[in-house]
Each structure stands twice: as structure tokens, then as C-alpha cells.
Chain A
């Protein structure tokens, strides 16, 4: 029987993939499918054996490979140990450098030399005193003005106001 005409084809694959109860049940009662499975299985076994044979290496090869892996592993371990040892020191150095950079005095721009103008200073002082109140030197005169104001009769002020209102 030509297997390409076998309508039970998928069952052969299913049986080959892994245990499949339905496929096994069918194959137990179907000689062509059973034969087909055996044929494919044989080819797959040859394929597996050929590949395993192909991958076969003499014992010395495995010894050399194991030795190379050991050396590479030791190198990596050494490198990582070195990194672990140096890393804190490097970090501390970087930190120290940054701290030192921040603490260094910042050069301030040079201030232009100021020429002290004594007359100007005096004027500013007088002005400030005028704003705050009467200067000490004029206190006597201020008192005199205040006294003369208080001695003037209040009526004269009122009559003046009234005369102005009558004018209207």
C-alpha cells in the first residue's frame, strides 16, 4: 500500500510524537500504519545514531575542553575579584575628588577700588537726618517756631475763616 494514500496518516505522526492512546489503538489493528511507523522510526534511529557518532570525540578532547573551561573560569573569577577589590577604592577616590572640587575657594571677581568721597558721605548723612527728623543743630530753631505758633490766638484763625465764608 502506498503510504501517501493512507488516510490514517496523522495517527502515525501522533504515535511517533509520543504516547497517544488513540493512535496506538489504531496502529495495533492497522498493519500498513504499523509498517510505516517502523520505517520512519528506523530512519530516525539511524539519524540519531549518525549524529551521536558524528559528535563523538576522543577522551583527550574532553580533557582539553574541561581544562580550557577551568582556566577561563579562573580568569573571570580573578577579574571579578580584582574588580570587587578595586571598585570601593576607586569609588572613594572619585568621592574624595568631588568633595575637594566643591570645597575649593571659588575665585570672586575683584572689586574695583572705591574712592571715598567725604563730601558726598556728609551730604548723604545730612539727607538721612533730615528724613528722620530735625537735625541736632536746628533743634533750637524748631522749638522757637513751635512756641510762636502756640502763642498766636485761636480766634484770629477762626475769624479769618469766617470772613472767607462771608465772601461767598
Chain B
């Protein structure tokens, strides 16, 4: 699924045509949108920032050197946008307090598609997902991003490190702590 820049544009591409850009959007928009949706848990914001992410990528295409995959580079832009957005959202305390920010922070527990599972199994799975989200919510922004990229996007450690601008060792440390919390929560869901 991952596509490097080379087959599309050539490793030293400085500029892309509108058609090439459109092809890139169509190839990567699902993943970029999904990552933003996970990080923000706000469908509208995820949609807006997906658009912003691709526009930024187009604008700064000359800075892409092909050192990582194009998708990882796009996810890095997306992660930075999500981080900036989270910072600005922190300041909108009154907005949240007054209930104008209801769309955010949805917990996707009801999307467990397992038609062959029994009602008990589905319920248990829902509880587990809820427990994992509860842990993810308590993680720092960086830890949560690492955790979600690893266990939802199933990215490799070095890809996560590149996407978030971290060392692989830091990624491992963040995951280790997150997993300790998840295990603790699964043992004692209260």
C-alpha cells in the first residue's frame, strides 16, 4: 500500500502537476483521514485537516527528499497539524464548557463488526475497546499518537518514529508505558 515518491515523480522532484497531486490524494486520503480522526476524534476537524494536510504537502513538495515513504511524510504533516489543533483546542475551554464542542471526543465502541460473534462476545469486546480507549484518553498526546499508530494503523516502529519525529527508543518507551496502562485497565476496568 505504501508508495514512495520515486515511481510517481522521480526522487528529486521539485514540483508536481495537478494530476499527480490528485493521484496522491486519492491514494493516501483514507489513511491520512483515519489517523486524523483517531487523533482528534472529531469528524469535521479530521475532514478539514485532511484537506489542509494535502495542501501543505503540495505547497512544500520541494522539501520532500524521499528519505521516507510519501505516506509517512504525509502522516508527519497530519500529526503536526493534529498537535497544533490540539493546542488551540486546549485554549477553547469556554467553548467546551458551554457545550459548543459536542462533536468531539466520540468513542468508537459501537463499530465492532463481528456478525458471527455471540451477543456476550460482542459485549465483552465492546467493554474491552472502551477500556482501551479510556487508557488512550489518559495518555499524553505523544503517547496516544504512538499507541494509535501502532495498534490501529499497525505501523512499524521506525515508521512511527519518522512520522512523529521521534527516536525508535522513545517510541518503544511510549508503547511500553501505554501497554502497562492497558493491561492494568483490562485487569481492573473500574
A residues adjacent to B (C-beta < 8 A): 3-4, 9-10, 12-14, 16-18, 36, 39-40, 42-44, 46-57, 62, 65-66, 68-70, 72-74, 76-77
Chain B residues contacting A76 (CB-CB under 8 Å) are 55, 58-59
Chain B residues contacting A77 (CB-CB under 8 Å) are 18
Chain B residues contacting A70 (CB-CB under 8 Å) are 18, 21-22, 25
* Contacts A/B (CB < 8 Å), 27 sampled: A3-B183, A13-B180, A16-B175, A17-B175, A17-B179, A42-B128, A43-B182, A50-B129, A51-B34, A51-B111, A51-B152, A53-B111, A55-B30, A55-B38, A55-B108, A57-B30, A62-B29, A62-B30, A65-B29, A65-B33, A65-B50, A66-B22, A69-B51, A70-B22, A70-B25, A73-B18, A76-B58
Chain B residues contacting A10 (CB-CB under 8 Å) are 176
Inter-chain CA distance A55–B41, complex, in Å, is 10
Which one of A36, A39, A50, A69 lies within 8 Å of B112 (CB-CB)?
A50
Contact across chains for A47 and B180 when beta carbons are under 8 A apart: no
Which one of B25, B151, B180 lies within 8 Å of A44 (CB-CB)?
B151
Chain B residues contacting A43 (CB-CB under 8 Å) are 128-129, 131-132, 182, 186
Q: Is there a chain A Cβ closer than 8 Å to B113's Cβ?
A: yes
Inter-chain CA distance A28–B59, complex, in Å, is 51
Contact across chains for A49 and B29 when beta carbons are under 8 A apart: no
Which residue of chain B lies nearest to A68 when distances are taken between CB atoms in the complex? B51
Most B C-beta atoms less than 10 A away, residue of A44, A70, A72: A44
Inter-chain CA distance A83–B133, complex, in Å, is 47
Given A13-B183, A16-B179, A65-B47, 17 other A-B residues pairs in contact with their CB atoms under 8 A: A10-B176, A17-B179, A43-B186, A47-B132, A47-B151, A48-B152, A49-B113, A50-B108, A50-B109, A51-B38, A54-B111, A62-B29, A65-B29, A65-B50, A66-B26, A74-B18, A76-B58
Inter-chain CA distance A44–B186, complex, in Å, is 11
Inter-chain CA distance A94–B179, complex, in Å, is 62
Which residue of chain B lies nearest to A12 when distances are taken between CB atoms in the complex? B183
Inter-chain CA distance A14–B47, complex, in Å, is 35
Answer whether A47 and B129 are a contact pair too, CB < 8 Å, given A66-B26, A73-B18.
yes
Inter-chain CA distance A36–B187, complex, in Å, is 10
